[in-house]
Amino acid sequence: MEDAWNAGVKVTGVTIHYVDTGVDSGQIIAQTPVLISEDETIDELTERIHDAEHHLYAEAANIPVLQIRYPAFETREAAEQEIVKTLVADGVTGILLAGYMRILTPYIVQAFEQRILNIHPAL
């Protein structure tokens, strides 16, 4: 991605494909472009690509996605209240955290007590 950024490429993207013996040569399952804006940083682009990846993976697996941007709320508790409200309204009974790199507040833990599973890579 950084090479594309440095070369002035205007569009990058996300591709999900079957793994085979070649590199990036398996049948494509899903793909989405990500436009590169001239006024964004490499970190901002990286975040947008990760967002696109998460949505594309979920879409390919027919899994609904809820994305909450914490900076849009005054406090973490306010963001998590919105998360709980949405999850409960959608009938969610448990939460699987995959790559969730925040400490949950007591509010969300109490709302889903004994029904939260956290998995993440050990890097």
pLDDT tens for each residue of the chain, 123 residues long? 677 777 888 998 899 888 888 777 888 999 999 999 888 888 998 888 888 988 898 889 888 877 778 888 999 889 989 999 999 999 999 998 877 778 888 989 999 999 999 887 655
Is 17 part of the annotated catalytic residue set?
no
For residue 48, which of 7, 9, 1 has the smallest C-alpha distance? 1
65 domain-assigned: no
In angstroms, how far is CA 30 from the centroid of its own chain? 16
In a domain, 87, yes or no: yes
Q: Which of 60, 79, 96 is the last residue of a domain?
A: 60
Q: Please check whether residue 79 lies inside any domain of the structure.
A: yes
44 and 90 in a single domain? The answer is no
Same domain for 55 and 86, yes or no, is no
The model scores a pTM over 0.75: no
For residue 8, give its domain range: 2-60
- In the chain, how many domains are there? 2
Does one domain contain both 8 and 55?
Answer: yes
Query: Given 17, 50, 55, 120, which residue is catalytic?
Result: 120
Same domain, 54 and 23: yes
